[in-house]
Amino acid sequence: MLIETGKRLALQAYEQILNLIVSGQIPPGVMITERRLAETLNMSRTPIRDALLMLEGEGLLIRQGSRGLQVKEMRVDDYINALHIRQLLEPEAARLAAGQISRVELDALETDLRDLLGRTLSDEGRPDRGLVRDVDDRLHGGIGAAAGNPQLAQIARMLRRQTQIFDLRSLPERFEATCREHLEIVEALRDGRGDDAALAMRQHLEHIRDSIVRRLTRA
């Protein structure tokens, strides 16, 4: 029971710290410490430590010797390289996952994606980033799990986390397109059309790459 409680607290800490990073509340280059995070999140340092190890393993945090952990600063080349590897891996994962994910799970994803499309954006004109990331994680993570290759799933998750730092808060114009592209992927997966699922995934990642390049290279 204590072990399960510890895992649950570590996952809670992980989600909260991840939200702070991808939302920009902890910006790239900032040094973070267990003590400060424990105070901010009102948690003990043990789950914070476990969560930081998870984030370090995903490449979002870089250890700087005795100084502690630093939020990774992603250069343009870093984004492009990570997305290039995702383009090599995730279409094949989608092909393998076609017909392997339960219809119930895919129907739930479709419902949430259509709900996101129909929602009124906030006063700032931005979508609910937490919900968008949840749906993104369920789709891409579900594909990785259903592809039947744990190493592929782990690598894809790590790369997705790194590219999520540059998410819809920086690319609000991608919100509707991303939802529609995800719907195409869901439909192909549900119908068991592996080639179409791979193509839809490849095009989705290409569109993300093009948007990021335009934003990062904009004068």
Domains of the chain: 2-71 (1.10.10.10), 76-216 (1.20.120.530)
Integer CA distances (angstroms), 22 to 13, 18, 27, 60, 167, in order: 14, 6, 8, 10, 7
Per-residue pLDDT at 127: 61
Instruction: Answer yes or no: is pLDDT of 35 > 60.
Output: yes
Query: 121: which DSSP letter?
Result: P
Instruction: Give the pLDDT of residue 50.
Output: 93
Predicted local confidence at residue 219, as pLDDT = 47
Cα separation, 186 vs 200, in Å, equals: 9
> How far is Cα 171 from Cα 173, in angstroms, rounded to an integer?
5
pLDDT at 213 over 80: no
CA dihedral defined by 206, 212, 214, 218, rounded to 10 degrees? -170
- For residue 10, pLDDT over 70 is answered with yes
- Edge to edge, the sheet with strand 61-63 lists 31-32, 69-71, 61-63
Task: Quick: pLDDT tens for 100-141.
Answer: 999 999 999 999 999 888 875 554 455 666 778 889 999 999
pLDDT tens digits along 143-185: 999 999 999 998 998 888 888 776 545 566 788 888 999 999 9
**Residue 123 confidence (pLDDT):** 46
The percentage of the chain sitting over the pLDDT mark of 90, rounded to a whole number, equals 48
